[in-house]
Homo-oligomer: A and B are copies of this chain.
Amino acid sequence: MRIKVDGQTLDILAVQMDKHIVTMIDQRWLPFKFELKRLESWQDTVKAIKDLVTRGAGSVGVAGAFAMAQAAHEISTTLVLEFNHLLIEAADVIRKARPTAVNLSAAVNHCLQAAEHGTTVEEKRTLIDEAAQQVLSSDMQATQEMGKAGAELLQPGSRVLTHCNTGALGIQDHGSALGVIRFAHEAGNLAMVYVSETRPWLQGSRLTTWELQQEDIPHQLVVDSACGYLFTKGMVDAVIVGADRIAANGDVANKIGTYEKAILAHTHGVPFYVAAPLATFDLECLSGENMPIEERPAKEVRTVVGRLPTGGMGPVQVAPDQTEALNPVFDITLAKYVTAFITEKGILRKIKPKQILKLVEKSGYAS
């Protein structure tokens, strides 16, 4: 992604590795402070994942793969048996850094499987390095292909509504829904991006606006419940969101608030697109009804975290101490409300599980 820092333009990735040193954009202080975090050991990288220095399914997966490469490099033995034992121990620790992110364990497993093909420790190290870079390059290719395919769905002058952060910070190097928006902007077809703030964590306000500002993509921020207003005024030509999980029947689990945008789009005859790599499809999950929905602490609803008047990040309290709150992280949008899925293998208007299976097999590793 291109970033403007102190008047200069940098080409940078959210998570990268050079000579077994991992560098991450520290997302905790964005948009108020741009800082790169340098991580010299695999344990440092694990701690950074835990501390949310990076976030987003793709970036967490890449960070996990790089931690595996660092671990393989740091385990100082030439005995294969000992190496395997210590590597598996490290893999367990890395997987647990964010236990719910499917991408993280997929990336770790991909590195472990690659190592099996080596006979010496040195061979295994090389194979893990390659596998880790493959996790990154797979995301980079997928987001590029999604971006290109999705951008073709948008007519000149399109005004697009998006939700949460689905950008280069979360899945490198173009993002999913935000990748489509980037490519549409490059094609000159984008008139406006409406960004919903995405309470309770405000990924829209904090991260999506920041990414759009890096590339001078025209945008306006709205509170989540102002999206209906945009539709009544005829201001939205398409909705594009990402997905956390897609069931075999095409039902979509995504950040809380996605469903309302789908219903609004449906009511107003506006297309509703879901941009997601094929790895997001969970064919073992038959429908949205089978998806468990994480609920988080009430405190996140009673408070809002931002930059304090005194500087630094911190919370303000917005409801009485004892207020009970319901804080579901995702909602389910039924397949019938999705106009099309934008994947790295093209646009899918109907979800046929067998077709998805074939596409996944063809695409090799997909984070």
Contacts and interface: CB of A to CB of B under 8 A. Distances in A.
Nearest to A260: B228
Given A309-B315, A316-B308, A199 B228 contact: no
Interface in A90-128: none
A46 to B, nearest CB: 29
A228 B316 contact: no
A317 B222 contact: no
A355 interface: no
Interface residues of A, number: 62
Contact of A223 (B200, B263, B267, B307): B200
A310 B310 contact: yes
Interface stretch (A66-74, A139-147, A322-330): A322-330
Interface string A181-208: 0000000000000101111101001100
A61 interface: no
A220 interface: yes
B260 A202 contact: no
A209 interface: yes
A306 interface: yes
Interface of A: 31-32, 194, 196-200, 202, 205-206, 209-210, 213, 219-230, 232, 256-257, 259-260, 263-264, 267, 293, 298, 301-310, 314-320, 322-328, 331-332
A210 B320 contact: yes
A221 B326 contact: yes
A244 to B, nearest CB: 14
Given A220-B326, A302-B205, A308-B316, A197 B199 contact: yes
B316 A307 contact: yes
Given A209-B319, A225-B260, A260-B227, A309 B308 contact: yes
Contacts of A221: 298, 301-302, 319, 323-326
Given A221-B302, A306-B304, A259 B319 contact: no
A302 to B, nearest CB: 7
Contact of A225 (B225, B229, B323): B225
Identify the interface centre among A194, A199, A222, A223: most chain B CB within 10 Å of its CB: A223
22 contacts: A197-B199, A197-B318, A197-B319, A199-B223, A202-B318, A205-B302, A205-B319, A206-B318, A206-B319, A220-B326, A221-B326, A222-B326, A223-B224, A224-B225, A225-B257, A225-B260, A230-B326, A232-B259, A304-B304, A306-B317, A308-B309, A308-B314
A262 B76 CA distance: 63
Contact of A209 (B198, B224, B323): B323
Identify the interface centre among A194, A220, A314: most chain B CB within 10 Å of its CB: A220
Contact of A309 (B225, B293, B314, B324): B314
Contacts of A232: 259, 331-332
A197 B316 CA distance: 14
B316 A306 contact: yes
B319 A316 contact: no
Contacts of A223: 199-200, 224, 256-257, 301, 327
